[in-house]
Chains A and B, each alone.
Chain A
């Protein structure tokens, strides 16, 4: 935590502010007073050993997990038990899961139109138009009328990304989006994410894909045992990480676990 945080361009606006966020599961201390500010347009890769609290941290940011203490502010809205705030935040923050979590009883098109129609009260025609545009963007327009089980894992994950984008989120959270994929499908998903990153959307990506993190991320956060141990740029992190734990983690990843 004492490594130099990347000094952001002063024109950047903070979009997520986490202050002293603490979380326990029973007696297990999963997050220990974690603080971090994320700026608009920034792509942050979150890395670290298994069980270090990466997913937990990400999930507290849209309250899939409630934090015990500390403060989380998303685009000026405080994340707390106030349901109105929560609804507002969930509209601004999209999430992509490791296991895709597509709605299996709905077609690909309906998977994408459901939230805009229910939450944003969009007309069906407009929602479908938008869904098709997004499907084209992720290269799956021809699959619109299929069901999730008919698609490969890589295709399902691209649909999940399109589904999240349909809500026009300001921030996209990714929790190990390629970890459940066969190796030959990883690249098609990373390609979509790379394109997104360059389009200027704010992204927080928990990942084990160090190549992707190094190439695409503006910032790397290294979690260890419930604390942020390093918060720096990819160049610094990969070449001169400050903590021994981070260097050990990196050499382990390089040697493929």
Chain B
């Protein structure tokens, strides 16, 4: 990861471009592979795209949730603090699969009749809520790591509490929280596979279907694993580069 930290801008660009090229070009090399992979190349490419899409949607919503709940946990308003505590406790104390099933099965009875959530949306919501709870703890730790003196300095300069948070606290707490958030995002790539349980056709589901048709689990699951490895590596590189970018001002 040395290269990524030395040239963070380029690494971020390369990881992003590489990821997109990989997703859209994936079917071409796979098509050339022998049975049972070759014929299913398009399916693998579609599955990988769904996995990445699910990760990005749930991951970015999860960061927003994490920041909101992380701030809420530090609020002076105790009902809000309790609410955020309860949310984290609930999510971290129950299995992700249960949460996915719950959203999928409970959403229709909670939401008004005319709003119908797709399977994908249910999976994205459950994953966002899940990763958001884990992010909450990281964000909270990050905020607590910002020296209180800087908050006082900002307030003394006349910045409002919101300006102080956005300009002084958030950027610095993100830098502290980023390694842990990146970890959560990499886990999310893998956790998104549980969406197969509510019939979202993501990468693991594709692998399962292809092996069910071909009865050749080894090449199919090896291919699936390699695609996951490439995706997690791309996400890790991306976040390592972002971390290096945010690190400016920390070292001499």
A and B together in one complex: yes
Q: Give A residues with C-beta under 8 Å from B.
A: 62, 64, 87, 90-91, 93-95, 97, 99, 101-107, 114-115, 118-119, 147-150, 160, 163-164, 167
Is there an interface contact between A115 and B157, defined as CB atoms closer than 8 Å?
yes
Q: Are B249 and A148 in contact (CB under 8 A)?
A: yes
Indicate if B152 sits at the interface (CB-CB under 8 A): yes
With an 8 A cutoff between CB atoms, is B248 at the interface? yes
- Other-chain residue from A64, A118, A148 in contact with B159 (beta carbon distance below 8 A): A118
Kindly identify which residue among A94, A103, A119 contacts B168, using a CB–CB cutoff of 8 Å. A103
A147 neighbours in B (Cβ, 8 Å):
248-249
Report yes or no: B153 in contact with A103, Cβ–Cβ below 8 A. Answer: yes
Q: How far is the CB of A148 from chain B (nearest CB, A)?
A: 7
Q: Which of B150, B155, B171, B251 contacts A90 (CB 8 A)?
A: B155
Q: How many A-B residue pairs have CB under 8 A?
A: 76
Q: In whole Å, how far is B139's beta carbon from the nearest beta carbon of chain A? A: 16
Contact A150 B157 (CB under 8 A): no
B75 at the interface (CB under 8 A from A): no
Of A103, A114, A163, most buried by chain B (CB within 10 Å of CB) is A103
Contact of B175 among A94, A102, A105 (CB under 8 A): A105
A118 touches B150 (CB 8 A): no
CB 8 Å contact bits of B141-177 with A (1 = contact, 0 = none): 0000001011011111111100100011001100100
Q: A101-B152, A149-B251 are in contact. Are A167 and B157 (CB under 8 A)?
A: yes
Interface size, chain B (Cβ < 8 Å) = 24
Known interface pairs A104-B172, A105-B172, A149-B249. Does A62 touch B156 (Cβ–Cβ under 8 Å)? yes
If A114-B167, A149-B250 touch, does A104 touch B158 (CB 8 Å cutoff)?
Answer: no
State the Cβ distance, B193 to closest chain A Cβ, in Å.
36
Complex Cα distance, B157 from A90, in Å, reads 6
Q: Are A119 and B158 in contact (CB under 8 A)?
A: yes
Q: A91-B158, A95-B156 are in contact. Are A104 and B251 (CB under 8 A)?
A: no
How distant is the Cα of A62 from the Cα of B158 in the complex, in angstroms? 10
Q: A116's closest neighbor in chain B, by CB?
A: B157
Answer yes or no: B252 CB below 8 A from chain A CBs: yes
Bound CA–CA A107/B171 (angstroms): 13
Known A64-B152, A97-B149, A104-B150: A119·B157 in contact at CB below 8 Å:
yes
